[in-house]
């Protein structure tokens, strides 16, 4: 049943918004009373018999969340979003399977379309290296180009690179938020969130006006893992939220993939350790796709990826100036514009013209601080 048609949607939100009633307690209430309406109409004795806390029992008895549920529904409608409950057909089947699945999700965008494809999470360090960003972009772009939905957390670094690359490939991507739909975090990714909602979806289990507190993000990470067939960790330190997502994926019976990194880099210590512990080493999008079932592999667009995705033009033959600059710029170590001017010997104006051309063609990526790196394609 479409969520918008549910007459009891307000009761679902009342249950979700009741202090002391989390996903596990809420599921327990639903198993006992079958519907949120019946659960809300039960007696304090019945609630206590299920092990509910005094906080939850008192809040339910006083009906504290009724007004807030109505306010959330109004805010949701105003924002162009909708709520999807555990009882709805378009609640993600994989997510429904996990322990403590959210009672409801708040979504915005083409939710059905984004979930109509195999989903893979791509996560990693917020303070990523150029290598990590390049690899995340290439893998996400290639997977999106063959019909895989890229799921990530809209954070800085690897997450943002994964979302942007999926959009570049004209594929679908889902951003799982650690806030309400009204509060994109970090703020610098607000425009990216708008672009994601145009062809993919934004999703959160948090209501409106829920700020980005640290305790929210482990909950977000379990949803990222729960939506997906597997989690690909591109770059992560030994103590990293991305490793939490990988652990949750293992607990949920999902595949875990990892990209190897430099053994002297702290940013790769976590991913290298995952590989040591049995995660599948990934060097190419096919390393991920070959773990899909035969049916899912058959559904992938064309079954294989062309050398150059159809949506992207072939790179033009570089000019002599452009070749000189490409020889000075690596994939992993960005080069500053001043160094390129000094080392190329072709003059500032010609360097700036060549850099602009190479950036527009996608051969180079411009990084903060007037630095440039080769782009993996």
Neighbours of 63 (CB within 10 A): 12
Tokens of 147: 């019909």
Q: Report CA 309 to chain centroid distance, whole Å.
A: 22
Asked if the bond preceding 107 is cis, omega within 30° of 0, the reply is no
User: Is residue 239 over pLDDT 50?
Assistant: yes
Q: Pick the residue with more confidence: 70 or 310?
A: 70
pLDDT at 352: 87
Phi, psi (5° rounding) for residue 372?
Answer: -135, 145
Tell me the per-residue pLDDT of 12-44, one tens digit each, with 9 for 90 and over: 999 999 999 989 999 999 999 999 999 999 999
Mean pLDDT of 355-362: 81
Gap between the Cα atoms of 46 and 52, Å rounded? 9
pLDDT at 316: 67
Structure pTM?
Answer: 0.81
Gap between the Cα atoms of 240 and 266, Å rounded? 11
Is the distance from CB of 136 to CB of 234 less than 8 angstroms?
Answer: yes
Write out the DSSP string of 271-289.
Answer: HHHHHHTTPEE-SSHHHHH
Tokens of 215: 């305790």
Burial profile 256-288: b = 16 or more Cβ within 10 angstroms, e = fewer: bbbbebeeebebbbbbbebbeeebbebeebeeb
Phi, psi (5° rounding) for residue 217?
Answer: -75, -30
Fold of 111-303: Rossmann fold (3.40.50)
Tell me the per-residue pLDDT of 269-319, one tens digit each, with 9 for 90 and over: 999 999 999 999 999 999 999 999 888 888 887 544 433 343 444 456 788
Pairing relationship of beta strands 201-204 and 173-176 according to DSSP bridges = parallel
Gap between the Cα atoms of 38 and 22, Å rounded? 17
User: Is residue 372 over pLDDT 70?
Assistant: yes
Tell me the per-residue pLDDT of 79-109, one tens digit each, with 9 for 90 and over: 999 999 999 999 999 999 998 899 999 999 9
Closest CA to 55 of 19, 99, 88: 19
Pairing relationship of beta strands 149-152 and 173-176 according to DSSP bridges = parallel
Gap between the Cα atoms of 112 and 90, Å rounded? 7
In angstroms, the Cα distances linking 71 to 21, 67, 112, 132, 197 are: 19, 6, 26, 42, 23
Indicate the class that CATH gives domain 320-374: mainly alpha
Gap between the Cα atoms of 244 and 222, Å rounded? 8
């Amino acid at each position: 049943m479409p969520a918008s048609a549910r007459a009891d949607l307000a009761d679902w939100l009342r249950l979700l918004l009741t202090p002391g009633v989390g996903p596990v307690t809420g599921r327990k209430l639903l198993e006992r009373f079958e519907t949120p309406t019946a659960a809300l109409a039960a007696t304090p004795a019945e609630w206590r018999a299920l092990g509910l806390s005094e906080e939850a029992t008192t809040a339910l008895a006083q009906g504290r969340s009724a007004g807030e549920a109505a306010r959330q529904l109004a805010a949701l409608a105003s924002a162009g979003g909708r709520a999807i409950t555990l009882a709805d057909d378009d609640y993600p089947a994989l997510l429904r399977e996990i322990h403590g699945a959210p009672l409801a999700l708040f979504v915005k965008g083409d939710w059905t379309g984004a979930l109509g494809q195999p989903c893979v999470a791509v996560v990693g360090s917020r303070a990523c290296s150029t290598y990590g960003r390049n690899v995340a972009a290439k893998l996400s772009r290639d997977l999106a180009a063959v019909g895989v939905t890229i799921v990530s957390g809209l954070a800085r670094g690897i997450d943002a690179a994964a979302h942007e690359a999926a959009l570049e490939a004209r594929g679908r991507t889902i951003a799982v938020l650690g806030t309400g739909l009204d509060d994109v975090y970090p703020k610098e990714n607000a425009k990216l969130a708008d672009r994601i909602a145009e062809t993919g979806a934004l999703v959160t289990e948090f209501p409106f006006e829920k700020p980005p507190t640290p305790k929210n993000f482990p909950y977000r990470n379990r949803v990222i893992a729960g939506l997906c067939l597997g989690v690909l960790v591109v770059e992560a330190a030994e103590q990293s939220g991305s490793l939490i997502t990988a652990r949750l994926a293992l607990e949920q019976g999902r595949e875990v993939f990892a990209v190897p990194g430099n053994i002297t880099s702290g940013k790769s210590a976590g991913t290298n350790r995952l590989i040591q512990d049995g995660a599948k080493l990934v060097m190419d999008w096919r390393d991920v796709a070959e773990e899909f079932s035969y049916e899912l592999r058959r559904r992938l667009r064309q079954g294989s990826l062309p050398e150059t995705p159809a949506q992207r033009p072939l790179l033009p033959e570089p000019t002599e100036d452009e070749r000189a600059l490409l020889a000075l710029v690596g994939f992993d170590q960005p080069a500053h514009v001043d160094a390129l001017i000094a080392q190329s010997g072709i003059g500032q104006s010609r360097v700036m013209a060549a850099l602009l051309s190479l950036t527009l063609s996608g051969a180079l990526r411009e990084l903060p601080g007037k630095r440039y790196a080769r782009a993996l394609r």
